[in-house]
Amino acid sequence: MKKALQKNNKATLLATALFAALALTAGGSAWAQKLACHNVTIVSPYPPGGTTDILARMLAPSMQQELGVPVIVDNKPGASSNIGTEFVGRAKPDGCTLLLGNNTGVVINRNLYKLRLDPVESLAPIAEVAAVPLVLYVNPSKVAVTTPAELLQELKKDPQKYSFASGGSGSPQHLAGELIKQSKSVEMLHIPYRGQGPALSDVIAGHVPIAFETTTVVLPHVKSGAVRALATTSATRTKVLPDVPTMVESGFPGFVIENWYGVFAPANTPQPIIEQLNKAVNTALRAPNAVEALDKMGSSDVAGPAGQFADFIAKEAPVWTEVVEKSGAKVD
């Protein structure tokens, strides 16, 4: 009887120890997966109201529900997004401070500014959020053309007459104009503005006749007739402007440019945290309101794993380095 009790006690102790070990393992795993944050901050390196800010605020509620901690958006504009981008690059790599960045701040500016941190090296890609094509458009009362081919004829006929607007030197909208000049040996004077909004306003007012802008921003003005869309920079025709040809269709081989947006963490953020954040972003992108908003923007479906976005950045960075070098773009 005594031996039986001792045997049962040993079995009980063994079971208790095994349960405790399993509980500790599960608890440790759960602890490792939980972000050690009072809140997660998504830094938007642009003022409120722009596409970057809109996307950040679109993601925040669903990410908050998925992560179990408050997710807030903090606008840190300035220096063509360099201030907010550097802020995140210097943040603690714990998943609590994120960047909603775009191609301008992450892969273009490094070729134009003397930055203290290289965004490609100081940031860890988490997930791509949106990819929105540009539209080549004109003020119809100032440039009586309906196609890029007709625009080229005008530019060649009077090389000193025309200018094009952008929201700033080095922006995709600026570099798209430089690519037209470079690829077709034509001249247009670049007029940089402090943001895409003022650039669009001056084209509508007739002060500058030509510009590129994202489908998101220019679409209402195309529909109203205030501006005329000549072509898009997407690889195939976009659903929001199905009757407008692409630049490739219009005689510009390889002319594919998209304004892309994505979420980044500081470099050296642990991989389990990267994967957790990636899941939260992709869950937010599947929310009905996000699907509807991205569809209206003309964005292609870019959701995917963190590694896919990292591979995209690795390929994208040298492309923009070449574009900047060939265009001769400078910061004005």
Looking at the domain assignment, is residue 189 inside a domain?
Answer: yes
Angle, alpha carbons 133-136-141 (nearest 5°): 145
* One domain, residues 228 and 149: yes
CA 109 – CA 4 distance, rounded (Å): 76
Based on the domain organization, do 119 and 162 belong to the same domain?
A: no
Total domains in the fold of the chain: 2
pTM of the model: 0.79
Residue 177's domain comprises 133-232
Q: Which residue has the tokens 């990267």?
A: 274
- 26 falls within a domain: no
Does residue 35 form part of some domain? no
Query: What value, to the nearest 5°, has the Cα angle with vertex 308 and ends 307 and 314?
Result: 85
In this structure, is residue 274 part of a structural domain?
A: yes
Check whether residue 155 and residue 218 sit in a common domain: yes
Task: Specify the CATH number for the domain of residue 157.
Answer: 3.40.190.10
91 and 140 share one domain: no
Q: In this structure, is residue 3 part of a structural domain? A: no
pLDDT by 10s per residue, the chain, length 332:
444 445 445 444 444 444 444 333 333 333 345 688 999 999 999 888 778 898 999 999 999 999 999 999 999 998 889 999 999 999 999 999 999 999 999 999 999 999 999 999 999 999 999 999 999 999 999 999 999 999 999 999 999 999 999 988 888 999 999 999 988 999 999 998 877 888 999 999 999 999 999 888 899 999 999 999 999 999 999 989 999 999 999 999 989 998 999 999 999 999 999 999 999 999 999 999 999 999 888 887 899 999 999 999 999 999 889 888 877 777 75
138 and 127 in one domain? no
Q: Are residues 67 and 125 in the same domain?
A: yes
pLDDT per residue over 219-238, tens digit each?
999 999 999 999 999 999 99
The answer on 166 and 125 residing in a single domain is no
